A and B are shown apart, each in its own frame.
Chain A
């Protein structure tokens, strides 16, 4: 049934067929008193409906309050004997002020309905980006396997996000595109949009999580960059290869901090408590690498010393395997004092990425715990900013 409805109504909406039908007007509408700038093909119509409702609301508000104030002034009490004789019913009036608002809301309903159907019907040729939401991170995965922490999209093409959550409900909201959809564990949800204007240098659109998900709910903000098709195509290719192009010896400081961004929500570097064990020293057994690799480590996992798990002949041959397992299968062994809160990064971090992270752990002393992407003065140059 919804297919029938959408077929009937698609004609009325812009951008449905994927072509840039915004010939008469800019692709981005400016910020107004009520609304932020509108940068998708949906924004124009939605903003129009919003403003239309606003004007109806202003009208009825001033009408009701105006009449109220006028009556209160005109019919104010004079003296103590106050019985006032006035009409107590008028059926025509009752019908009038029931039917007129009903007509108005029916009209408004249909306006919202047609815009909505368009938003729920992605075009068949939409460019698909997979999205994974975790506590408290977004990862965007492109068709060639490239992953990114921020959302890069091509201009002038419909883009469809296919989203899933690793843990709890999240919701992806790009306010300038006027799109939002909850991200649910155990199923895929979709949203689509088309942005026609590339973002200028240094500019971006905000992406917010809009379903309460815990401590880091308000720190899951990400940036959306719109690039013209040529730039986007080369970006995607570069992004897919960025790890491969880095020399293995430089992996830990060129890639480590960038990847660490996905861990930072739960793991601090300086020993401060957080949702997960700090990579720094917090229990006297050294930083994450020392306490995993030291054969005399006093660090405790599963209520036993970590040395139970790591060593020749034990479950993990060496500290690297233990750390790798912690990233891919995090809830199998849990550090004492913490809960099973870590999502898996299988599918998000490939072997090179994990090597980069382990490398960063091994060289943790070389990093400034406040801004790990800037290496200390006695090390090599810092990599490009996030």
Chain B
């Protein structure tokens, strides 16, 4: 017997899942269902991703030509790369996994009916929309060209006319992030079912929890920073103006105090997804549960101590430079530990190369490169040469796009059957993943060489010696773009023509696989019974359902005997 709800109203004849529970656009706009909110976030975030991606392709296309071009001025170029960065950071990567996938998956994986504060959850989404609206308005007001980092005094004294509106948008988006984090912390503390101790909780939830801590503690600093910049720009109070006794570099401290933890908001949930994907698609218990769980918390804590490594050439004192460089290495070690644990999970597994798993493996490849190339940037003497060059651009794209975004897309594929009730085409999934992977490496690996050879970033025009690198990089970006377009097409196509998905297509053992695909409105009819979410011994293939089934009695009994004998996590 499973916790699959087999009450009469859930058969095929009569609609009975969260998508069909109520109909009409108002039932979505005013929904309190975390699953619907997650879906709305997903659509919003993915649409923003495409806009940001188009900006990137514009930038890369201009960079085919070393000098001026008639169809794009330097000012337009500066606005394009600024918009690309701002959209991707604030509208896509920071909300994507926590708010889009996390909102959908967290309560079901936890075994709960919803998050702790459903109205706050909906309000977080409204705030995202308001922030995005401010960004759109800022484009109409003249755009902004300060770089997504908004460094003063350029942003306070120059910068295009849309700068204040977009800063207001960032302020609002910050609250969306804070409220989501708060919601998740309370949900994880308070809504776990009986038997789900912290060490029985899936690693994705540990990752989202660690992320939520950063969201709640760090984002207010961003809010204050952009508020100060707005006031400085509007009223010239002088806090960042040297001629009035202010300090332009102070902005950088304020900004990076948030923005460094922010990059861990981006990557930690992605790492959580990879833990799930690797374990489920290897059909094997995750290796080193406690180490992976604690490494998420360690990364969250250390992330607050390293912001100055973005500022080694800013005029910061040499002592500060030394301290920040040393502490930066402390953040690298827990990340490496995770990678080794995932590799050990593959050992003696039974690995199915589904699209989601391909993304998981791609993550390991790309995150290894991204993490290792952080080392020359953390090392003081080499960073002087590499700072503000394309080497940095390549590094952060490997970790933010090649890792966090790839993990998000992998998670999207992993939970797509659960969310939509449809299977997508594995054939096209593999093609899409391959194109994205190859295109990504061609685009960004080339940029490491561009940077170490001395090409600065945010450059409209460049010396002809760099041309060949730019040509290769731009070619890669088109391949990658094609991969994403193909992915979008087959995923959307699956909504209309995909095979109906069983409750458990991949053989997972965590609770989200024990309700139907798509889940019913209230997730579980009765409080689910908790076993070891990485124990696949009670998971079997059911030929009639064309999916896996968890033998709940055996699953729970195995966990109880593990606990009694002192084994388990």
- Say if A and B assemble together: yes
Q: Could you tell me which A residues sit within 8 Å of B by CB distance?
A: 1-2, 5, 31, 33-36, 42, 45-46, 49-50, 53-54, 56-57, 60-61, 64-65, 67-68, 71-72, 75-78, 80-90, 93-94, 97-98, 101-102, 105-106, 108-109, 111-117, 119-120, 167-169, 171, 173, 175-176, 178-182, 184-187, 189, 206, 208-219, 221, 341
List 10 A-B pairs, minimum CB-CB distance, nearest first.
A186-B242, A175-B454, A115-B381, A112-B379, A86-B348, A116-B380, A218-B459, A71-B346, A210-B388, A84-B350
Cβ-defined contact, B158 with A214, below 8 A: yes
Known: A65-B364, A75-B349, A210-B389. 17 other contacts (CB 8 A): A2-B318, A34-B452, A46-B382, A49-B382, A68-B361, A75-B351, A85-B284, A90-B287, A109-B325, A115-B381, A116-B322, A116-B384, A167-B153, A173-B388, A175-B385, A184-B242, A217-B78
Cβ-defined contact, B456 with A84, below 8 A: no
Q: Is B174 an interface residue (CB 8 A)?
A: no
CB neighbours of A93 from chain B (8 A): 340, 344
CB neighbours of B147 from chain A (8 A): 212
Least CB distance from B322 to A in Å reads 6
CB neighbours of A75 from chain B (8 A): 282, 346-351
Q: Is B291 an interface residue (CB 8 A)?
A: yes
Least CB distance from A162 to B in Å reads 13
Closest chain B residue to A64 by CB distance?
B368
Cβ-defined contact, A185 with B248, below 8 A: yes
Cβ-defined contact, B337 with A94, below 8 A: yes
**In this complex, which of B75, B379, B540 has the most chain A Cβ atoms within 10 angstroms of its Cβ?**
B379
Least CB distance from A328 to B in Å reads 17
Known A-B contacts A86-B349, A185-B248; A105 and B453 likewise in contact (beta carbons under 8 Å): no
Contact with A along B444-468 (1 / 0, CB 8 A): 0000110011101111111100000
8 Å CB contacts to A: which residues of B346-392?
A: 346-353, 361, 364-365, 368-369, 372-373, 375-376, 378-385, 387-389
CB neighbours of A169 from chain B (8 A): 151-154, 248
- CA A93 – CA B283 in complex, angstroms? 22
Closest chain B residue to A93 by CB distance?
B344
- CA A219 – CA B537 in complex, angstroms? 64
Cβ-defined contact, A105 with B344, below 8 A: no
- CA A171 – CA B312 in complex, angstroms? 12
CB neighbours of A179 from chain B (8 A): 384
Partner of A218 from B283, B289, B382, B460 at Cβ < 8 Å = B460
Least CB distance from A187 to B in Å reads 7
Partner of A215 from B74, B332, B340, B541 at Cβ < 8 Å = B74
- CA A186 – CA B317 in complex, angstroms? 16
- CA A145 – CA B452 in complex, angstroms? 36
Cβ-defined contact, B353 with A72, below 8 A: yes
The number of residue pairs between A and B whose CB atoms lie closer than 8 Å in the complex comes to: 284
Cβ-defined contact, A72 with B456, below 8 A: no
- CA A217 – CA B462 in complex, angstroms? 11
Least CB distance from A77 to B in Å reads 4
- CA A217 – CA B285 in complex, angstroms? 53
- CA A75 – CA B313 in complex, angstroms? 48
Cβ-defined contact, B249 with A184, below 8 A: yes
- CA A171 – CA B389 in complex, angstroms? 12
Cβ-defined contact, A33 with B449, below 8 A: yes
CB neighbours of B286 from chain A (8 A): 88
Q: Is B11 an interface residue (CB 8 A)?
A: no
Partner of A77 from B78, B333, B352, B456 at Cβ < 8 Å = B352
Q: Is B20 an interface residue (CB 8 A)?
A: no
CB neighbours of A90 from chain B (8 A): 287-288, 344
- CA A218 – CA B288 in complex, angstroms? 49
Q: Is B243 an interface residue (CB 8 A)?
A: yes
Cβ-defined contact, B283 with A84, below 8 A: yes
CB neighbours of B287 from chain A (8 A): 86-90
- CA A42 – CA B202 in complex, angstroms? 50
- CA A219 – CA B462 in complex, angstroms? 8
